[in-house]
Structures are given as structure tokens and as C-alpha cells.
Structure 1
């Protein structure tokens, strides 16, 4: 995937924010945001973004107790790539956000991630 290609979906990892804080943030971008179903720490929503229904999955405590995954299962989001979403979420939620450094292509380093915090973005090695 080249840098210019839109990611087919968007996934970010949010540090130390409650489900309520995350769903409140989601509701500012997905209007309306409807809970579809939940099972344990996995919560499925459907949000309307630019007149498109977008499935959103929130999975709490995916890497230790600090991290929650938010996955927009669509390319119909306001963000061109994961890093764009991570930068906005970090600013609006005032916390560290991580996302994969590339678009999950064959041969990519699966441990290379973006760490976004306080307006700074840097590539890191994240091994869980």
C-alpha cells in the first residue's frame, strides 16, 4: 500500500480511557451512534458518518488493562489512514493513541506502530 492510498478500514488503540469516554468520543463523529450488540468486553455499534452506515467495534483491554481497540470496519470515515484518526483521537481524548504504521501489507513489520501523544507522532516497536 502506498502512502497515498486510503486505508480500507481504520483501527486505533486508546490508552486509559473508559468505555463511556470512548463512546462519547465516537458519538461526536458518528451521528447517530447505535449499540448493535455486546459480548463481554466487545461492543459493536453502527454509526452514521457522512450518510454512510459504518460498523464500529470497541474491544476493551486488548493489550493489558490499559488499551482499548476501536475499529471502524469501513473506508467511509473522515480519516484517510489510521494515523489521521489517531492524531485526532489523541487530541480530543487527551491520551496516547497507537495505530499500526502501515496498512497490514505482506512483508510489513507487524511490531512497527505509531505512538501519538500530546501532538507528537513517532514510530515505535510495540511488542505485546
Structure 2
């Protein structure tokens, strides 16, 4: 399995400081580079690779926070790997796209990860 070009997950009912704590413990470095409203930018590094992270509070309604790793050099090969870890560490429901956004993929097919369970589902809005 090849790495996805980037990683994006959506975490339900989680606070920004909890996400930042997880990222700070998991990655080699995480530094805030700016915020505008509910969108927060970070520079990060992992095993010598530097990349940007965008965290968007209330990305989908009031419940969801989006975390977008703008790189394929993260600790995770695919979005689902990241979702599994985030769900376990943050004890929250996490969703991610079911595939790596290739031509012909269903854009509404997502993984829902919660309490060690993984369910493929259609996610239009929540």
C-alpha cells in the first residue's frame, strides 16, 4: 500500500488543545504559525521531514474538527491509520475518506472509527 499524498481526518466533539497535545506528543515538533478565526496553521516535523498542518475547528457544524496533514511523510501511510490512532488516543469518533481520492472513488464513502470499531459509511452531512 502506498502512502496517501496527504492525510485528513475529522474528529467529533474534541477540543483544539486536545488535538494539539496529541500532535505534540506524536510528532517530533509542532509549532503554531498562525490562526484566522477557526483555522489554525502549524509547521511540524517527523523523522526529518517538515510539513504543514491545518486544523479547522467547527469544520462541519459545531461537532467536527478537521486535521489536515499536508504531506505524505507523516507517521501514517493512509488516512485510516491516522484515524485509528486519533480515535484511540483522543477517545473520540474519527472519520476519514475511505480511499486516497483517486478518479472514480465515491467522495461520500468514509470510515467511521470509534471505540476500536471501523465501519464504512456514506457521509453526506451530520
Tell me the TM-score normalised to structure 2 length: 0.96
Which position in structure 2 is the counterpart of 1:50? 47
Return the offset for 1:31: 2.7
Q: How many residues align?
A: 125
Partner Cα separation in structure 2 for residue 27 and residue 85 of structure 1? 15
Which position in structure 2 is the counterpart of 1:39? 36
RMSD of aligned C-alpha atoms?
Answer: 0.8
Structure 2 stretches lacking a partner, 5+ long: none
Partner Cα separation in structure 1 for residue 28 and residue 77 of structure 2? 19
Partner Cα separation in structure 2 for residue 58 and residue 28 of structure 1? 16
Residue 106 in structure 1 maps to residue 117 in structure 2: no
Tell me the TM-score normalised to structure 1 length: 0.95
Partner Cα separation in structure 2 for residue 39 and residue 10 of structure 1? 22
Trace 1:76-87 onto structure 2 (pairs within 5 A).
76-87=73-84
- The secondary structure found in structure 2 opposite 1:14 is strand
Return the offset for 1:102: 0.7
Residue 21 in structure 1 maps to residue 31 in structure 2: no
Residue 116 in structure 1 maps to residue 113 in structure 2: yes
1:69 aligns with one of 57, 62, 66: 66
Return the offset for 1:6: 1.1
